[in-house]
Amino acid sequence: MPNLPNQSVCQIHTHLLDHQHLRSSFGTCARPYLPKWTKRAQKSQKRDKLLGRNRVQFRVMFLRVGQILLPWVKALSRRICTMTKVTHVSVASLDGITETEEALFCAFRVSNPDLASPYFSADFLKAIAPHTPGSMLARFHDGDEIVGFFAYQKRGQSLQPAGAPLADYHAAVMKTGYAPDWSLLLAAAGAKRLEFNGLIGAEGLDRAPIVKHRQIAAITDGFESWFAAQKARAPKYFKNLGRCTRNVAKDLPELKFEWTDVSPALLDWVLTLKVDQYKRSGMHDVFSCGWTRDLLFALAEQKSTGSSLRAGIYRRGDELVAAEICMIDGEDLHFWFPAYNPAYSRYSPGLLLTFDIIRHASDLGFKVFDFGSGGEAYKSPMTIDGPLCYEGQVGQALTLPLKSEGLQRAWLSVWRRAHIVRACEVSIKGQVMACLRLIERAQIRARARFAARLRQPAT
């Protein structure tokens, strides 16, 4: 570089890059001479300008990539950690559980507070085992030691939790410090996928599941304290509830509440109304297969200190008006099958009965009232978000590689319907009839949408 005293490098840059100076010195058509070090300075300035302009976009892009990759990294790390602990999985019939295994199962369950639900009682599993087709019990091993259990039923190439679709919650009951390895379970069971809808614990999942909350009413400080808190959260709902209560007191003064055992006659009354409801709504009748009905009757006959069935009912003289079958275990009560006589629908007997069950059972010492993880609107005013549970699959993706939210919702609806049909119908005849009912339901809904469009005024 030539010796230019009293000038800094930056001044030389300015002198050489000044377009007007270059024109006057070299002419408008002449191409100025730029040393190599000046060209490098130009490229550096352009790069800095580009980065400065797009710095925000780069940050957003990196954040989005991180959000996408983080669940996969976590799942991979969990999978690696799990594979170092669970060495293999063995499977056997669910009704063949030994006393030693039952004791281990109960000990593992007690160590995990998230499993405080009647569905994880050993009594529940023993009651459903003889009536659930294809029911099996997986044992997770660390060497010669059993470190976990998972009860499932096999349907073709799919595994489902034992008792599905009646079992609202399910989980691998593991020893503290261990997590299930679902890939080892699939290999041991000879299946391609594991379907779940209400799984407690996301350890070992190979894909991001749909996250839900268990809807619970926690009566920790007494019924009146809970009632005041919920009324403050949803004043309109409880105002309407009070109006329904007054209407019942005025029109049906002889209506009585009872908390009772579930007799065969009561269970048959509830199931008959549920079947009628399924037919009206077009939903799959989960009791037409037979084994689900037998399972419930077996649970009703079970009178143990653990998981058992109880019911709250409204009776008007000798007439049953409403009933809700609940499953209880310890201080936990799970609302299961509600039903009411449609002739009394204007009084909202289902809502009133649920409220009366909470009031009565809380006085008996029940602390947690679980409404399940469904999104029915009537649950929100009475509940808060409880522990998480998950819906999805292991082994195959649940969602489709599509950007359309409408198509994703439609596909998820079809998957849920197929999950229920696959769980219930173990015969070819039942599966064919279920497909025909699905087509019939689609036709009914299409006609209803078409009729609604015809009723809309022309614009």
Check whether 422 has a pLDDT greater than 80.
Answer: yes
* φ/ψ bin of 394: left (φ > 0), alpha (ψ from -120 to 50), beta (otherwise): beta
Containing 380, the helix (H) or strand (E) segment is none
Locate the domains of the chain by residue range: 1-33, 88-209, 214-407
CA 450 to each of CA 56, 58, 446: distance values in angstroms, whole numbers, following the listed order: 48, 48, 6
Proportion of the chain above pLDDT 70, given as a percent: 80
User: What tokens does 290 get?
Assistant: 């037979």
pLDDT of residue 142: 95
Distance CA 95, CA 98 (A): 9
- One-letter amino acid at 174 equals M
pLDDT of residue 22: 41
Q: Angle, to 10 degrees, between the axis of helix 9-17 and the axis of helix 36-83?
A: 110
Per-residue pLDDT tens digits for 68-110? 566 655 655 555 554 448 999 999 999 999 999 999 999 999 9
pLDDT of residue 388: 94
pLDDT of residue 407: 83
Check whether 40 has a pLDDT greater than 70.
Answer: no
Cβ burial 253-283 (10 Å sphere, 16+ → b, else e): eebeeeeeebeeebbebbbebbbeebeeeee
Check whether 19 has a pLDDT greater than 70.
Answer: no
Q: Burial of 118 by CB count in 10 Å (0-12 exposed, 13-18 middle, 19+ buried)?
A: buried
Average pLDDT over residues 44-54: 60
Check whether 48 has a pLDDT greater than 50.
Answer: yes
Check whether 431 has a pLDDT greater than 80.
Answer: yes
Check whether 441 has a pLDDT greater than 80.
Answer: no
CATH architecture assigned to 88-209: 3-Layer(aba) Sandwich (3.40)
pLDDT of residue 453: 83
Per-residue pLDDT tens digits for 205-255? 988 899 999 999 999 999 999 999 999 999 999 999 999 999 999 999 999
In sequence order, the 6+-apart residues with CB closer than 8 A to the CB of 368 are 116, 216, 217, 218, 219, 331, 332, 333, 386
Tell whether omega for the bond before 35 is within 30 degrees of 0, i.e. cis: no
**Cα 21-26-29 angle, rounded to 5 deg:** 110
Please state whether beta strands 193-199 and 158-161 pair in parallel, antiparallel, or not at all (unpaired). Answer: parallel
Q: Using the 8-state DSSP alphabet, how is residue 206 labeled?
A: S
pLDDT of residue 316: 96
21-30, 64-73, 274-283 — which is least confidently predicted?
A: 21-30
Check whether 24 has a pLDDT greater than 60.
Answer: no
Fold equal for 88-209 and 214-407: yes
Question: What are the DSSP calls for 170-189, one per residue?
Answer: B--EE-TT----HHHHHHHH
Structure-model confidence comparison of residues 173 and 27, the more confident one? 173
- For residue 67, name the pLDDT band (cuts at 50, 70, 90): low
User: Is 91 in contact with 139 (CB distance < 8 Å)?
Assistant: yes
Check whether 419 has a pLDDT greater than 80.
Answer: yes
Check whether 400 has a pLDDT greater than 80.
Answer: no
User: What tokens does 184 get?
Assistant: 């080892």
25-34, 261-270, 386-395 — which is least confidently predicted?
A: 25-34
Per-residue pLDDT tens digits for 125-164? 999 999 999 999 999 999 999 999 999 999 999 999 999 9
Structure-model confidence comparison of residues 363 and 23, the more confident one? 363
User: What tokens does 201 get?
Assistant: 């614990």
In sequence order, the 6+-apart residues with CB closer than 8 A to the CB of 111 are 175, 176
Per-residue pLDDT tens digits for 340-349? 999 999 999 9
Distance CA 161, CA 149 (A): 12
Question: What are the DSSP calls for 99-146, one per residue?
Answer: HHHHHHHHHHHHT-GGG-SGGG-HHHHHHHGGGSTTEEEEEEEETTEE
Check whether 23 has a pLDDT greater than 70.
Answer: no
In sequence order, the 6+-apart residues with CB closer than 8 A to the CB of 159 are 152, 153, 185, 186, 189, 191, 193, 194, 195
- For residue 292, name the pLDDT band (cuts at 50, 70, 90): very high
pLDDT of residue 58: 55
CATH code of 214-407, in short, is 3.40.630.30
